[in-house]
Amino acid sequence: MSKGRRREDLPRRLGEVLSAELERLQTSEQARAYVAWARAVGLQVASATRPRAFGRGRLTVECASSVWAGELTYLSTQILRRMDDVAPGHPVEHLRFVIARQTRDLGPSVADSAPAAPRRCPNPGAYREARREAERVSDERLREAILACLRRASGEPPETRDGNPSGS
């Protein structure tokens, strides 16, 4: 160890960093609110919406159109009751619906929609280890987001919704 460097300044394994951060995320109020939303609304509504922010008991949900935002506003009481049923103890007290700022796919894999930078993975062994760690994440949406980031960082083509690489 070089003189003047502290232990916490040294490089750490990705698994160590991810494990601590994922545990924090999975127990945060925001994560609990997002999970309650996803469980309560189902695939059809979830494909046209995306939780955007959570604070002070209010979950802000981005919608694909004003029609979706209006309809969900009308149904917010029923949605909150459904959230109580499927995720007891969730922190959401109010729902707010906003229209997406730009037209884009609001499906579950936002990171996959960004174009991958053409590059090669500098350390394939570390990449494989990071993928193994990510595969252990129990929250499916969080796991898919991490895997999408790893694919993009490595230059691997993003996957399509059927799980196949988009380049094939």
Mean pLDDT of 2-27: 66
Q: The pTM is what?
A: 0.49
> Between 85 and 130, whose confidence is greater?
85
pLDDT band at 40 (very low <50, low <70, confident <90, very high): very high
Per-residue pLDDT of 107-129, as tens digits, reads 544 334 444 344 555 667 777 87
Domains of the chain: 28-106 (3.30.300), 108-157 (no CATH)
Cα dist. 98→2, 50, 76, 105, 158 in Å? 52, 10, 13, 15, 28
What number is the average pLDDT over the span 8-24? 70
Burial 122-151 (b: 16+ CB within 10 A, else e): eeeeebeebeebbeebebebbebbbbbebb
